[in-house]
Amino acid sequence: MAKIVPFRAIRPTRDKAYLVSSMPAYSYKKHILEAKLETNPYTFLHVINPEYRQDNKTQPNSIERFENVKEKFEEFCNDGIFKQDEKESFYIYRQITETHTYLGLITGIAVDDYLNGNIKIHEHTLTQREETFKLYLDVCQFNAEPVLLTYKDNDKVDAIINKYIGTRSEVEFCSSHKIKQDLWLVDNEDDINALVNAFTNINDIYVADGHHRSASSVLYAQSKREDNPNYKPNDKFNYFLAYLIPESKLNIIEYNRLVTSLNQHTTQSFLTEVEKVFDVEKKNSPYTPTCNHNFSMYLAGNWYSLTAKKGSYNEDDIVGNLDARILTTNVLTPILGITDVKTDNRLAFIEGTKGADGLQEKVDNEEAVVAFGLFPVSIEQLKAVADANDIMPPKSTWIEPKMRSGLTIYSLEEAT
């Protein structure tokens, strides 16, 4: 079972929701980030960049920097940019893009579901990043961006959500990325109880995006429990902010590879080595993989289809059967000499939303020598890896929707 809880979100006022909510700071190019900070006094980017235009800056990820984040957040609250809802609620959130509609539920979800394995992971986390995010929670005392979780479609949950989306949303705006955003409040006690009860029958929930944020929330809760052995189950630190979206609404996109060196191979000698483990077919136009174990490759102005030969991978190995691992074990490591895909600076990753054109552009502009396109991982593959308590290769998936910061904030401070 999964335990979800309603909460009193701290939210931007209706008239400022568009101006406040933002993508994470790291997703903006430097000049765009600076332009937003310069021109929009309401953007949440000011909260997470509280020292913009200040001469005396603190160290990134330090207690002093996080104290300034907290102070800026409180300033937004005192200025009326943020208000806290009077009633505990769930929040239905929808994104509509040119190709997809994402619809799910923003809630608090129990740390214990993570600890007991009801919430399953498919990525390793870095201890240093976990500790950094935990320190952030210690100082700032709020979650501003939900962890993206997915679960098997549930008719009872869908019925309640569908009842609300036929009404006018509390918040409605379109971002500059042409993504329409809607937010509805679920503060009816009967609907809240129905949603809580529905999730008690959902046993398996998967982290789609936000592994470090969920892990750091668990660390934070564990430290609070150690400090207070007589803690109460409903204490806020026992939960973290989550966006729960059914599997059918999740969009898993491929994560492609760029390599800057052929490791002393010529184009022809490299192709000769590749042909030992792949069936290679030259294409007359940009090519996108059509199935598992089929790859695209752009090299020296030409597109190729690569299909892994039988015996080049272990069909019975859940992780070894993933295309990201097949490419690494058959090309990146033995031919190109890339032994650590996380640290080798000859290897870069590009999200599949850029398409074949994005790969070709990088090679044609001499930012890479060869590019590889992968077939997207399926939700079944993701779940199989997580169910086996295994870990996917780095950068195996690009998962949407990408959540915005500052739209619904979960406060960790207990009411006084």
Tell me if 90 sits within 8 A of 186, measured CB to CB. Answer: yes
Confidence band of 24 (pLDDT split at 50, 70, 90):
confident
pLDDT tens per residue, range 166-183? 999 999 999 988 999 999
DSSP 259: E
Q: Assign 3-state DSSP to the chain and report helix, strand, coil percentages, each to 5.
A: 35, 25, 40
255-397 CATH pick, 3.30.1760.10, 3.30.300.280, 3.40.50.1820, 3.40.50.300: 3.30.1760.10
DSSP 328: I
Residue 260 φ then ψ, to 5°: -95, 0
Rounded to whole angstroms, what are the CA distances from 405 to 18, 26, 46, 144, 192? 11, 12, 12, 5, 24
Long-range contacts of 13-19 (CB under 8 A, 24+ apart): 13/80, 13/81, 13/82, 13/83, 14/170, 14/171, 16/42, 16/81, 17/171, 17/173, 17/183, 17/407, 18/173, 18/174, 18/175, 18/181, 19/43
pLDDT for the residue numbered 1 = 82
More confident residue, 25 or 346: 346
pLDDT for the residue numbered 415 = 62
pLDDT tens per residue, range 188-199? 999 999 999 999
pLDDT tens per residue, range 243-290? 999 999 999 999 999 999 999 999 999 999 999 999 999 999 999 999
Q: Which stretches within 153-241 are classed as H helix?
A: 155-165, 189-199, 211-227
| Mean pLDDT score, 15-19 | 96
> Cα dihedral sign for 251, 406, 196, 186?
negative
Nearest Cα to Cα of residue 21 among 206, 184, 183: 183
pLDDT for the residue numbered 416 = 44
Confidence band of 124 (pLDDT split at 50, 70, 90):
confident
178 Rama class: left (phi>0) / alpha (psi -120 to 50) / beta: left
| DSSP track, 58-118 | PPTTSHHHHHHHHHHHHHHHHTTSEEE-SS-BEEEEEEE-SS-EEEEEEEEEEHHHHHTTS
Q: Domains of the chain: which residue ranges? A: 255-397
Segment (H or E) for 171: strand 171-174
Confidence band of 102 (pLDDT split at 50, 70, 90):
very high
pLDDT for the residue numbered 329 = 96
pTM of full prediction above 0.95: no
Q: What is the rounded CA–CA span in Å between residue 83 and residue 10?
A: 5
Amino acid at 361: E
pLDDT tens per residue, range 305-347? 999 999 999 888 999 999 999 999 999 999 999 999 989 999 9
264 Rama class: left (phi>0) / alpha (psi -120 to 50) / beta: left
Whether the predicted pLDDT of 58 surpasses 60 = yes
Whether the predicted pLDDT of 153 surpasses 90 = yes
Q: What is the rounded CA–CA span in Å between residue 216 and residue 126?
A: 10
Q: What is the rounded CA–CA span in Å between residue 163 and residue 103?
A: 13
pLDDT for the residue numbered 336 = 98
Q: ∠247-248-250 over CA atoms, to 5°?
A: 65
Confidence band of 9 (pLDDT split at 50, 70, 90):
very high
Segment (H or E) for 254: strand 251-259
For 322-358, give one letter per residue: b (16+ CB within 10 A) or e: bbbbbbbbbbbeebbebeebeebebbbebbbebbbeb
Token pair in block for residue 326: 């097949």
Q: What is the rounded CA–CA span in Å between residue 36 and residue 27?
A: 13
Pairing mode, strands 239-246 and 147-151: parallel
Average pLDDT value over all residues in the chain: 96
Report the percentage of the chain scoring pLDDT > 90. Answer: 93
For 388-414, give one letter per residue: b (16+ CB within 10 A) or e: eeeebbbbbbbbbbbbbbbbbbbbbee
| Mean pLDDT score, 363-381 | 97
